[in-house]
Amino acid sequence: MRAPAKINLHLGVGAPRPDGFHPLVTVYQAVGLYDDVTVEPSPGWTLGVSVPEWIDADAVPVTGANIVDRAARLLAAHHGVEAHAGVSVAKAIPVAGGMAGGSADAAAALVALDRLWELQTPDDDLLRLAAELGSDVPFALLGGTALGTGRGELVEPVPDPATWWWVVVPSTEGLSTPAVYRRFDELAPDAPDEPAGAGTLLQALESGDPEVLAGALHNDLEGPALDLRPDLADVLEEGEEAGALRGMLSGSGPTCLFLAESADAAREVAGALAARHEVVLVTHGPVAGAHVVTYG
């Protein structure tokens, strides 16, 4: 199974709910950076993770504490079967980067193990299990472009007819999502219960015009994330100076994201950023959610 990274084109955050989670109105877009999850029959449970040289292997949670272990246990418990499988995860989505790489792995593992164990879990059940694993795991199943509400786990597809080009600059050090939400609470103690709506962004998507989209991008977690990592403001500025229509943080960061006018413009911006940054990726969205690459 292959599962995509996500970015948030709109991320409106409200005051924390009684359960501690924040109400969100978000627009997710799946982009063409993927983690691959391979499963095979095994008498017990094994999980191996491989990373490209630019990802710090120590940053990936070890076997037993990885979200893929939790996904397997949850699916097995739901059906009363043994969680036996040999699983390997090949990562290419930045770790702890605000691109939901762990959520992509969990979504891919749910679907792959459902097939391996011949469980035929209905889609609604898979989405519910996904939501238990993390707020943005249901979106990783769905892919494309979707409106996310609740704590981000309630997803519905929205029209997004164009292809958008993005330049992605991962950070060598991750940022903890809970820490960014805590900083949000400190900086916005009077945040409204209702998060900022996504109407402008949804209209911008339908326009198909990158300049219109650039003006509509919105991320309420950018302020708190930049407060924790002021160095990232310079990266955002560099990308905009290099010709990006707009730079913003991906979700809770620290990955920096740049919207470009076209594929060629994205490559140009990436070329300029590569002089100062070891890893600069060019990608596009929307793309499909978790899907089978080979089967049988």
Q: Which of 8, 29, 66, 135 binds ligand C5P (CB under 6 A)?
A: 135
Interface with ligand C5P (CB under 6 A), residue total 11
- 22 touches ligand C5P (CB under 6 A): yes
In whole angstroms, the minimum distance from the beta carbon of 288 to ligand C5P comes to 22
> Catalytic one among 114, 136, 160, 220?
136
Stretch that binds ligand C5P, among 29-37, 177-185, 202-210, 276-284 (CB under 6 A): 177-185
For 68-86, give the DSSP string.
HHHHHHHHHHHHT----EE
Q: Which of 4, 98, 138, 152 binds ligand C5P (CB under 6 A)?
A: 152
Q: Which of 21, 45, 61, 229 binds ligand C5P (CB under 6 A)?
A: 21
H-only helix segments in the chain: 67-79, 101-116, 123-133, 137-142, 177-187, 199-207, 210-216, 222-228, 231-241, 263-274
The answer to whether residues 258 and 5 touch, using CB atoms and an 8 Å cutoff, is no
Nearer to ligand C5P, 134 or 210 (CB): 134
Is 95 annotated as a binding-site member?
yes
SS percent in the chain: helix, strand, coil, step 5: 35, 25, 40
Residue 234 appears among annotated catalytic residues: no
Nearer to ligand C5P, 43 or 178 (CB): 178
Residue 227 appears among annotated catalytic residues: no
What's the CA gap between 180 and 186, in Å, rounded? 10
Give the x-and-dash track for 244-263 against ligand C5P (CB under 6 A): --------------------
Report CA-CA distances (Å) from 110 to 27, 50, 103, 106.
23, 19, 11, 6
Is 96 annotated as a binding-site member?
yes
- 177 touches ligand C5P (CB under 6 A): yes
- 151 touches ligand C5P (CB under 6 A): yes
Q: Which of 132, 181, 229, 233 binds ligand C5P (CB under 6 A)?
A: 181
In this structure, the number of other CB atoms found within 10 A of the CB of residue 95 comes to 20
Stretch that binds ligand C5P, among 176-184, 204-212, 234-242, 262-270 (CB under 6 A): 176-184
Nearer to ligand C5P, 143 or 251 (CB): 251
Q: Are strands 218-219 and 2-13 parallel, antiparallel or unpaired?
A: parallel
Record the tokens describing residue 262, joined without a space.
């076209």
Q: CA quadruple 275, 99, 30, 224: dihedral positive or negative? A: negative
Q: Which of 224, 222, 204, 199 is nearest to 214 (CA)?
A: 204
Record the tokens describing residue 106, joined without a space.
């969990």
Stretch that binds ligand C5P, among 16-24, 70-78, 199-207, 287-295 (CB under 6 A): 16-24
CA within 13 Å, CB half, 187 = 16
Nearer to ligand C5P, 21 or 162 (CB): 21
User: What residue ranges bind ligand C5P (CB under 6 A)?
Assistant: 21-22, 24, 134-136, 151-152, 177-178, 181
Binding site residue list for ATP: 94-104
Residues with catalytic roles: 6, 136
